[in-house]
Structure 1
Amino acid sequence: MMSRIRYAALGCLLILSTAQPSFAGSVYDYTLPSINGGTLNLAAFKGQAVLVVNTASQCGFTPQYDGLQSLWETYKDRGLVVLGVPSNDFGGQEPGSRAEIKEFCSVNFDVDFPMSDKVVVRGDNAHPLYQWLAATLGASSRPRWNFYKYLIDANGQPVAYFSSMTRPQSSKITKAVEAALPR
């Protein structure tokens, strides 16, 4: 009898030790440090579609800021938020401070869409938002470079992701955005 209890206890411990971490129910449950200081509460975007993009200022894909700004200007009145998330994870291509990043984006690309402060987007220390995206969309959705894009629908659920190679104004993204906008 005692050995059965031990085996049952060991089995429970094994199950608990391999359990996945629990995640929030929607993107609106997350916060990011804001590029303006303070906290960027994603609940502020409730009911809107959100395109989350990990960005970098010294990357070959940096010109995509133009396309992201254009996408933002085209769809913001219809319920799309473009959210830039600077990261230094890939090639050290975002070494600046939040003030330097903000100035770079403003001066070079007239960016006025919301942006976070720099965060980690990959690995064990990835920001919880990026851990949730990978858990929800699958491990293959983890960003492999700067300017990976994640589309969240108006219910706060991730519906698609796009590689760095996919330009913000591509038909692939614009069709997905159209489908994700609030009705």
Structure 2
Amino acid sequence: MAIHQPDAARWTRRALVGSLFAVGAAGLLGCTVANGPSDRASVDEGEDPLAGDPSDESTPGFEIAVGDYSATVADGWKSVDDGKGGVVVTNGANRLTVVTVTIAKDALAVNEVAALARGHAEGFTGAFAAPVDRSTADVKRASVAGTGTFKGAPARLLCELWIDSTGFALLTTRIITASPDSVISEQAQEMVDELSLDF
């Protein structure tokens, strides 16, 4: 009987240590699982993908490109990852979004631009005017303007759509809080002009 007591005691100690380790590990795992989703939820709630740090600083000669279209970023503007595959440049509460889209060859730009504008006006609240057909014999083109607010400031929106003969299209959306005659407004126009040069 005395020979078996040390073994029993060792087994009891092993079981106790093993149980404590298992409980501790389970508790740690439980804390990790419990804290993980709530932390992510608090970060994700209301997070603006365009409000974070810029992915590229504004440096002289820096370029943005979407498909075959590119432009030099104006001084003071920064590139931001919008998480949607487009290109976004910002300067304070001013934003230019550039994307390419595929549209049916027989579609008219004037019939497509309003819906596209609303889909790329994130953060803008306001009213849209009627789309304007700016097509030529070679290019289908249209624009739509809006007035409202962006980031708490009065803002103007201008969305422009170009469609080539294959149905490939370029869409630019400007949301500008700076005054119409400001350097920022001029810079945004220059970038759009450069992007759409091949149209």
TM-score normalised to the size of structure 1?
Answer: 0.31
The structure carrying a bigger strand percent of its residues is 2
Higher RCO structure (Cα 8 Å, ≥6 apart): 1
